[in-house]
Structure 1
Amino acid sequence: MRTEPVNSERIFAEPEIQARHRPDGSVLLSSAVPLEPYDADLGRPLRRWAAERPGAVLAAERWCGTWERLTYGDALARAEALGEALLRLGLGPDRPLLVLSGNSLRHLQLTLAGYVAGIPVVSLGTAYSLSGGPERLLTVTGIARPGAVYAEDGREYGAALTALAAAVPVTIVGRGPRDEADVLLDALLPTRPGDRLRAAAAAVTPDSVARIFFTSGSTGHPKAVPNTHRMLCAVQQMMRQVWPFLTTTPLTLVDWLPWSHTFGGNHNLHMVLTNGGTLYIDGGGPTPALFPRSLRNLAEISPNVYFNVPAGFALLADELERDSVLAKRFFSRLGLLFSAGAPLPEALRVRMLRLAGRFRGGEVRFTSSWGMTETASAVTSAHLDTDAPGAIGVPLPGITLKLAPVDGRLEMRAAGPTVMPGYLGDPVRTAEAFDEEGFYRTGDAGLPADAADPGRGLLFEGRLTEDFKLANGTWVRVGALRAALLAATDELAEAVITGSGRARVGALAWARQAGDPAAVRHALAEALARFNAGRRTSRRVDRLLLLAEPPDRDAGELTDKGAVSQLQVLRNRAAQVELLHRDPAPAEVILPADHAD
């Protein structure tokens, strides 16, 4: 199938932002452009595209070396058959479907079945189903109370399915059943939709729960975030208004981002579904072990929009600089690059745009947004050209963003149709999550890029909970400092800021590429000296320790999206933190060149 290129002149709508300053020091930001009407539920765009373009490909998955494709017409037929079957098995609005496996066509078919039958779908990452013991899995199951659990392969997920046997009445597998009690998904496809499905579909409203996502739980008990059809449909209309090309150009994505998270499972998947696009499911990811799969897919399929996280863009930039054939293929129809999940180092953004200029003629734009699971993905969008590190753009139409003063910073708080009604089964945390005016407390800090012009958007200032004080009582703004450090040197792939209660700031870091150790140390010492020049103590990095072991996903140091967890790394690597801050500095610690012996 041919991918249509994106017209670069129609990528971004012009931001029109209003700002209202209040006596308490807070600022309310909103778009002057009203939110236009949107679908009432996610079953409607599926039915619409199945009627208008039944033979168009909704999604494809590589299987045995070739692409297996699912058209919109087949997707609707299978969704209705599976929806009827799941209802007969006892699932419904209060008995969700739990999915343990990663992205796949079967996973998608079951998700669409949930949409048309009014059955919430709970997609869990492999951190719950394949890593560690069953405790966290049983915890989330107790909260969601699923009526059935699905696994792509009964043998691969056997331990998790066995752990859930007493808690979940029905087990469905794509292949490899553990025993005769497991239901094969293919056995459900011949089910004829009937009155049960018609009644369930008629009962779906904008406030019906479509998806339930679980936060990582890295700081405590996992929280269940219900996403309603209203939330998920509204955010897609918001994106259509700021990205006008979505209404004229069929989207083609090659995407690995997991459906257990809001970036891949809401923002990207539903952008394809609601706009009649095509999603090529990428079985790769932003790790050295998985990334070759992504390269193979990108060598065959040219996306016109490409989503990734900074770790993925770092690997991709290295390969595109090395392989001009791949670069020509990748950029042949590309119009937009999009990074989220963690702040993107400015040097990496420049590298990707330099490659775009070479292989696409400078027609590619690079953007980002900011949001979270509790807001059905995006709250802001950088639908404007900016080179400011940490730029996250402006509020989307229909969103009111409050900048509320908290300990000398501005917390970003959100209100609008995309904000969750509350945490499932947790009234205490729900009450804590909203302020007295009903704004959701995100816990993220932001700063206007230009105080005199709200249309220039916001800069992400990090998590409020990550910040700490030095021994002298000075606050260290971790998010901003980390972003600035990574932007100042090409030698680092990632960094975690340290120094709580200590005399100076340090960083645990990972090198971008292997090289001569002495040369890397020398380059980093010089880079630290340049970075620190003219900066006060809380904005300097006075010592750095390179880590040989990569972030450990199973230990919670790396999310499914490839982002490093600052707090979890500090917990897990307390011994390295102590080594880093020992006086005098051990030989392993890198000091700025102007402070080294």
Structure 2
Amino acid sequence: ERPIVILSDNSIEHALLGLAAMHVGIPYAPISVAYSLMSSDFGKLRHIMELVTPGLVFAAQGEMFSRAIAASVPPEAEIVLGEPARLFPKATAFADLAAAEPTSEVDAAHARSTPDTIAKFLFTSGSTGMPKGVINTQRMLCSNQAMIAAHLPFLTDEPPVLVDWLPWNHTFGGNHNTGIAIHNGGSLYIDDGKPMPGAIERTVRNLREIAPTIYFNVPRGFEALVPFWRKDLALRENFFSRVKVMFYAGASLSQTIWDEVAELGYETCGESIAMLTGLGSTETAPSAIFTTPQTSRAGAVGVPLRGVELKLAPVGDKLEGRVRGPNITPGYWRDDAVTRQAFDEEGYYCFGDALRFLDEKDESKGFRFDGRIAENFKLATGTWVTVGTLRQAFLAAFAPYAKDVVITGHDRDEVCALVFPDVEACRSLCVGLAAASSVAEILRHEPMRMELSRRLARFAREAKGSSTRVARLILLEEPPSIDANEITDKGSINQRAVLTRRASEVEALYEMPLPLFVIVAKTDDDDEKALIHQERSAARKKKDASPGRAR
């Protein structure tokens, strides 16, 4: 009833406190750093504190987290800091905790732990509201590591070496990766980099120094590393010197990046390195379905791990994957209603992901991802649009200029898109534009928009029907907001939240005549015409743009 909350990022202190808590049966909750350092109102952090009712709150950097602590931590909770903060002179120093001598009470508390003792709460972003606290038990964590070791037996042959940046408030980094190191007696080097400009360089530095035996990342991480691998032979030779498996999760990896990583690996070490993935969630500890080297390819998710039962349930014209097993959560902390909604009548956890057989003639090859059921919608014609598949194809076609995309068209005649641009990539198309130009000026620059218009035309020509043809797009000037729930702290776009918050932009995509900032496909026989394809009345007054509206 009085768990520990950890606000700061991956660190030795974070790991020690979390392991100590689990040793004596005290649940702990590692929280996304973004809720403390990137939020303007601390709304999600306050919600979590009210739900968890912590007895102790830890932050490694006192000054950095002072505002968040002051805004959210209940007065009865003990504050523990790795470094002092002026606002909290009476806070307990982490060094004092580390120096404390254990008593017989520690052994007694440890003896009371059972497989169903709560190990931690991991918070996931709700589709429209506040984060949900997923209960993670010792049974879930331990059984899942046994499943992973059975699927990847080389982990038990020699202690694995990991170089990992993935945050511990997420199940991928905090359960899967740290669990592999602990369960198999391995080493985990905390990578202080991230797959973003200004931070990926630290990851590169770390990978020059430490050669992993198994490497985990998100697709964007592999995309960020490819240019460095391509030009730095010493980096490549160190990285591929002993890595046996590479693994991605969190999103789909494009076949283009997949192939390039495979080619770089083969050129460097003379053998093919397995690239694996799977399907799982915070609710499944996380691994439930895993690919094998023989069946792994872009879009594949694999076969159920030992001990996991999988069933396919018809939902509309799709088959939803549902699982049960010892690695499945008992539910959400203090939220019985959401817990009931997450399971079906037979006790299977509902992923919300649609699956199809990778090979209809050979079921042993496992499954492939077939889209998020909740995201899919029908056009006015009754045609279903599979958003996940279309989104992947769109991003591949518009790389590197589109960072992310939200697909529109529910009950409309056509599919359109709201695009979050990669501003720096778009800037590279703006020849002659001043280096200090604003985002708005970059997104209005005609040569850049012309290139996107051409790509839109090419994408339309390759479409196989109305459900895969994107008619128009808008470049969004304002990035997705974490406070408005448009993006999770791990970088995943919340489609529903974006469509709701940017309803005016959605309407602009379907207005007639079209506003000037809407980009349409530029065809080969239309080169002499203006980039924007519409007619506007000369008397029509230009609409005032809403806050954050694209130009």
TM-score by length of structure 2 reads: 0.86
Contact 1:314 1:348 in 2 (8 A): yes
Contact 2:279 2:288 in 1 (8 A): yes
Contact 1:173 1:182 in 2 (8 A): yes
Deviations 1:124-173 (A, max 9, x none): 00232222323322221222121111011221111122234435421111
Structure 2 vs 1, CA of residues 168 and 502 (structure 1 numbering), >3 Å: closer, same or farther? farther
Find the counterpart in structure 1 of residue 267 from structure 2.
358
Find the counterpart in structure 1 of residue 56 from structure 2.
148
- Counterparts of 1:532-547 in structure 2, within 5 Å, are 532-533=461-462, 535-547=464-476
Find the counterpart in structure 1 of residue 102 from structure 2.
193
Find the counterpart in structure 2 of residue 100 from structure 1.
7
- Counterparts of 1:514-533 in structure 2, within 5 Å, are 514=426, 515-517=428-430, 518=447, 521-522=450-451, 525-526=454-455, 528-529=457-458, 532-533=461-462
Deviation at 1:296, TM superposition (A): 2.0
Deviation at 1:110, TM superposition (A): 0.2
Deviation at 1:595, TM superposition (A): 8.6
Cα distance in 2 for residues equivalent to 1:587 and 1:164: 41
Deviation at 1:575, TM superposition (A): 4.1
Secondary structure (helix, strand or coil) at the match of 1:109 reads helix
Deviation at 1:471, TM superposition (A): 2.1
Cα distance in 2 for residues equivalent to 1:285 and 1:341: 15
Find the counterpart in structure 2 of residue 58 from structure 1.
none
Cα distance in 1 for residues equivalent to 2:158 and 2:523: 52
Cα distance in 1 for residues equivalent to 2:230 and 2:200: 15
Deviation at 1:121, TM superposition (A): 1.1
Contact 1:309 1:561 in 2 (8 A): no
Secondary structure (helix, strand or coil) at the match of 1:314 reads helix
Q: Does 1:589 align with 2:519?
A: yes
Secondary structure (helix, strand or coil) at the match of 1:333 reads coil
Find the counterpart in structure 2 of residue 162 from structure 1.
70
Structure 2 vs 1, CA of residues 522 and 387 (structure 1 numbering), >3 Å: closer, same or farther? farther
Deviation at 1:271, TM superposition (A): 0.8
Find the counterpart in structure 1 of residue 351 from structure 2.
442
Find the counterpart in structure 2 of residue 333 from structure 1.
242
Secondary structure (helix, strand or coil) at the match of 2:414 reads coil
Q: Which residue among 413, 426, 433 is the counterpart of 1:503?
A: 413
Structure 2 vs 1, CA of residues 547 and 221 (structure 1 numbering), >3 Å: closer, same or farther? closer
Q: Which residue among 388, 391, 394 is the counterpart of 1:479?
A: 388
Cα distance in 2 for residues equivalent to 1:254 and 1:584: 53
Q: Which residue among 105, 120, 123 is the counterpart of 1:214?
A: 123
Cα distance in 2 for residues equivalent to 1:359 and 1:261: 32
Structure 2 vs 1, CA of residues 595 and 397 (structure 1 numbering), >3 Å: closer, same or farther? farther
Structure 2 vs 1, CA of residues 109 and 399 (structure 1 numbering), >3 Å: closer, same or farther? same
Find the counterpart in structure 1 of residue 404 from structure 2.
494
Cα distance in 1 for residues equivalent to 2:390 and 2:90: 54
| Alignment gaps of 5+ in structure 1 | 1-93
Structure 2 vs 1, CA of residues 487 and 364 (structure 1 numbering), >3 Å: closer, same or farther? same
Q: Bigger shift: 550-559 or 359-368?
A: 550-559
Find the counterpart in structure 2 of residue 121 from structure 1.
28
Q: Which residue among 355, 361, 374 is the counterpart of 1:452?
A: 361
> With CA pairs under 8 Å and 6+ residues apart, which has the higher RCO, 1 or 2?
1
User: Quick one: which amino acid aligns to residue 120 of structure 1?
Assistant: P
Find the counterpart in structure 2 of residue 253 from structure 1.
162
Structure 2 vs 1, CA of residues 161 and 430 (structure 1 numbering), >3 Å: closer, same or farther? same
Q: Which residue among 502, 505, 513 is the counterpart of 2:425?
A: 513
Find the counterpart in structure 2 of residue 112 from structure 1.
19
Cα distance in 2 for residues equivalent to 1:240 and 1:590: 50
Deviations 1:289-341 (A, max 9, x none): 32222222222222222111122221111222233332222222222221111
User: Quick one: which amino acid aligns to residue 519 of structure 2?
Assistant: V
Find the counterpart in structure 1 of residue 494 from structure 2.
565
Total equivalences in the alignment: 504
Contact 1:151 1:157 in 2 (8 A): yes
Find the counterpart in structure 2 of residue 79 from structure 1.
none
Cα distance in 1 for residues equivalent to 2:246 and 2:513: 45
Find the counterpart in structure 2 of residue 292 from structure 1.
201
User: Quick one: which amino acid aligns to residue 367 of structure 1?
Assistant: L
- Counterparts of 1:7-18 in structure 2, within 5 Å, are none
Contact 1:286 1:562 in 2 (8 A): no
Contact 1:384 1:393 in 2 (8 A): no
Contact 2:472 2:518 in 1 (8 A): no
Structure 2 vs 1, CA of residues 594 and 314 (structure 1 numbering), >3 Å: closer, same or farther? same
User: Quick one: which amino acid aligns to residue 562 of structure 1?
Assistant: G
Q: Does 1:223 align with 2:132?
A: yes
User: Quick one: which amino acid aligns to residue 101 of structure 1?
Assistant: S
- Counterparts of 1:18-33 in structure 2, within 5 Å, are none
Q: Does 1:137 align with 2:45?
A: yes
| Alignment gaps of 5+ in structure 2 | 431-446, 530-551
Report % sequence identity: 41
User: Quick one: which amino acid aligns to residue 90 of structure 2?
Assistant: A
User: Quick one: which amino acid aligns to residue 413 of structure 2?
Assistant: A
Structure 2 vs 1, CA of residues 593 and 551 (structure 1 numbering), >3 Å: closer, same or farther? farther
Q: Bigger shift: 169-178 or 530-539?
A: 530-539
Cα distance in 2 for residues equivalent to 1:528 and 1:325: 41
Deviation at 1:264, TM superposition (A): 0.7
Cα distance in 2 for residues equivalent to 1:132 and 1:348: 36
Cα RMSD (Å): 2.3
